[in-house]
Structure 1
Amino acid sequence: MYQELLDLLTEHLEKQDQLSKLTESQLLHQYGYSDVHSIDFIGRNEDANVTKLAQYLKMTRGAASKIVKRLQTQGLIDVYMREDNQKEKYYRLTKVGKCVFKEHEKRHQLWIKRDSQFLKNYSAIEIQYIKEFMKDYNHYLEEQIDIITKKD
């Protein structure tokens, strides 16, 4: 009984990945999920720092710091300090980072438009059941992540 649902979830993830590769530009292919979502966060938030980024991505500050270093090395973000706070490092997008940000936003809007059309086939009650299932499942997955990351 559960195996069929797990197989369907696996198929869903594989198809989402395939659709992403078919619909996004080559520019995004060279960056990982966490990289692109970090760029998105930095592009949307003034004075983004590693603590805020880690909270947004639901990961440790150490993991977020690694992403920030990688993005900086790739020339996607700049580091700066504010005059009123010379201890904290903040991040902003470079010209290249802004290109990745805009491409991701365009891709995200296409995804919303495409999948919203599909979801219109379901009633409000059915959507509510699906939402509850997804919230519960995501919460369960977060707990599993926490268990694993606390072991390390």
Structure 2
Amino acid sequence: MSFALGMDAFSIGLGMGMLELRKKQILKIGMTIGLFHMIMPLLGMTLGKQISVYFGGIATMVGGFLLLLMGMLMIRASFSKDKESFITPVGIGLLLFALSVSLDSFSVGLSLGIYGAKTAAVIIMFGFMSMVLTWAGLLMGSKVQQWLGSYSEALGGCILMAFGAKLLF
């Protein structure tokens, strides 16, 4: 299950990796997403069965909307004459990115809380796998960015929008 959730982070990291990122930024992004993939399911597991049906759908919708928005902004920035990227994974942008990627972990945490899963094992595996897979996606995205040049940011935005649409529909 941690691998499946981490694959979303990988795919989204692949899109975000098409921005020009330094290795230090890639390290920080992976660690932040890993941390959010620990916090969100922990919150979900503690809330438990009472609200799983209600909040699970809301978390997915919010995550999908945020990814669609970020994708649209990346595509818009790719066609802008100003080469400064509008979406940058630093500060608030990094927190919003990590939150949007980890919202599905909240829903999974709600379900796991119902079944009484081992909290520590779940949290550690979710965080570790999402961190490693995010790094892999970001590094692969940077290689694709080198091949595609100026079109890479638009492709990255399309990837983010596709995952946002997948969450919404």
Q: Return the TM-score normalized by structure 1.
A: 0.31
Report which structure shows greater RCO (CA 8 Å, sep ≥6).
2
Compare the two structures and name the one with the higher helix fraction: 2
TM-score (norm 2): 0.29
The structure carrying a bigger strand percent of its residues is 1
